[in-house]
């Protein structure tokens, strides 16, 4: 079985992986397509510490092959989008509708794969860069078969994180002003989340001027190449500022850009030990700095919602897919992503 393996030194496409059968409460999925997200690259460069060897990928969609005992909401042949939340469904956080806070879903990587008889870790309880993977049943969300799997794959991370940060965490309201710093895959979804929420002024900031057209397509009403010009567009500041790059100086810029009662939402991923600074007095006018894990999402609710918004033409998915690559072209997909040539590159396994 093919998959993208990181062994702690290098990343390669291998063809000798094996994955176990699904156990009780689990689902085996034949992956059709998987988006390349910067979080995958952050494992490789050490920004996100993770045990190795590990099969990468966490933004995927495919077809159910087999289900374990007790699984009834999906069956073989169903098309599914995968989430990364292997939440237990029974703890206090899950019961409150906050599966992103489930302690069973954080920091407990499984090893459903083997190679040469040795166990291999699963990234983000998902590992979508493999021909087949085994996930908890709660992670497999059935979607309509008329949604292209290359597009559906992106719901499971970029859309849940970006759109979810707007609708679930920040709760952007009609008429609000929104600043989005960084227009990569997450930033574009924040932009369209703000558009869906009814924000009036949506300011996108990206150092690459070539990204203006796609930023406006996804919902930006203004585009800047530097945060220095934000006050020219929003003289009193933004109601919501989303930092989608992961640089501490941009965290500071997001906080400094806020209007009274504004909130800065941090979505970018800096190194684990990074520290940001800001003027404490700048928060006294009811301003807030918010962390956000996975768009504060409830995938079994949100994925079908976003899929229906896509079918109605209100949420863009196809437009996120700049390029598709057979999994063997993983290195080219990485090069294109690092050079900023794609909104999202999608790896395929011949089933999309």
Give per-residue pLDDT as tens, 254-284.
Answer: 999 999 999 999 999 888 899 999 999 999 9
For residue 136, the number of C-alpha atoms closer than 13 Å in the C-beta half-sphere is: 17
pLDDT (tens, 9 = 90+) of the chain, 352 residues, equals 999 999 999 999 999 999 999 999 999 999 999 999 888 999 999 988 999 999 999 999 999 999 999 999 999 999 999 999 999 999 999 999 999 999 987 777 899 999 999 999 999 999 999 999 999 999 999 999 999 999 999 999 999 999 999 999 999 999 999 999 999 999 999 999 999 999 999 999 999 999 999 999 999 999 999 999 999 999 999 999 999 999 999 999 999 999 999 999 999 988 889 999 999 999 999 999 999 999 999 999 999 999 999 999 999 999 999 999 999 999 999 999 988 888 889 999 975 4
CA–CA separation, 40 and 80 (whole Å): 21
Alpha helices by DSSP H, listed for 4-157, are 38-45, 92-95, 149-152
Residues 6+ apart with CB under 8 A from 312: none
Task: Please give the pLDDT value at position 147.
Answer: 96
Task: Please give the pLDDT value at position 351.
Answer: 54
- For 138-170, b/e burial (b = at least 16 CB within 10 A) is bbbbbbeeebbbbbbbbbbbbbbbbbbbbbbbb
Residues 6+ apart with CB under 8 A from 25: 68, 69, 70, 71, 136, 137
* pTM summary value: 0.93
Q: What's the alpha-carbon Rg for the chain, to the nearest Å?
A: 20
- Cis ω for the linkage preceding 314 (within 30 of 0): no
Residues 6+ apart with CB under 8 A from 117: none
Task: Please give the pLDDT value at position 138.
Answer: 96
Task: Please give the pLDDT value at position 38.
Answer: 84
Please report the beta strands in 244-326, taking only residues with DSSP state E, as ranges in sequence order.
258-266, 288-291, 321-326
Look at residues 77, 88, 70 and name the one whose alpha carbon lies nearest to residue 139: 88
What does DSSP assign to residue 124?
Answer: G
């Amino acid at each position: 079985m093919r998959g993208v393996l990181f062994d702690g030194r290098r990343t390669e496409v291998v063809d000798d992986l094996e994955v176990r059968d699904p156990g009780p409460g689990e689902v085996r999925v034949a992956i059709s397509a998987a988006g390349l997200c910067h979080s995958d690259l952050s494992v490789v460069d050490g920004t996100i510490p993770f045990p190795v060897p590990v099969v990468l990928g966490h933004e995927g969609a495919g077809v159910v092959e087999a289900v374990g005992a007790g699984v009834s909401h999906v069956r073989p042949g169903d098309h599914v989008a995968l989430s990364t939340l292997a939440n237990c469904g029974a703890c206090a956080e899950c019961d409150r509708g906050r599966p992103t806070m489930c302690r069973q879903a954080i920091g407990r990587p499984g090893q459903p794969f083997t190679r040469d008889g040795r166990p291999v870790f699963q990234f983000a309880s998902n590992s979508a860069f493999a021909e087949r993977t085994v996930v908890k049943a709660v992670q497999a969300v059935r979607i309509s078969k008329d949604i292209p799997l290359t597009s559906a794959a992106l719901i499971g991370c970029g859309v849940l994180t970006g759109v979810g940060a707007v609708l679930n965490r920040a709760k952007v309201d009609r008429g609000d002003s929104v600043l989005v710093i960084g227009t990569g895959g997450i930033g574009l979804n924040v932009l369209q989340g703000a558009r869906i929420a009814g924000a009036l002024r949506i300011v996108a900031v990206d150092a690459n001027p070539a990204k203006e057209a796609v930023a406006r397509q996804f919902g930006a009403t203004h585009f800047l190449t530097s945060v220095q010009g934000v006050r020219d567009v929003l003289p009193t500041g933004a109601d919501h500022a989303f930092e989608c790059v992961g640089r501490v100086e941009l965290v500071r810029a997001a906080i400094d850009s806020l209007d009274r009662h504004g909130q800065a939402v941090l979505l970018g991923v800096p190194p684990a030990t990074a520290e940001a600074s800001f003027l404490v007095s700048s928060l006294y006018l009811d301003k807030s700095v918010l962390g956000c894990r996975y768009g504060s999402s409830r995938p079994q609710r949100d994925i079908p919602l976003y899929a229906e918004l896509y079918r109605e033409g209100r949420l863009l998915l196809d437009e996120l897919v700049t390029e598709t690559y057979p999994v063997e072209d993983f290195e080219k997909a990485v090069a294109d992503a690092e050079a900023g040539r794609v909104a999202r590159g999608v790896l395929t396994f011949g089933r999309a």
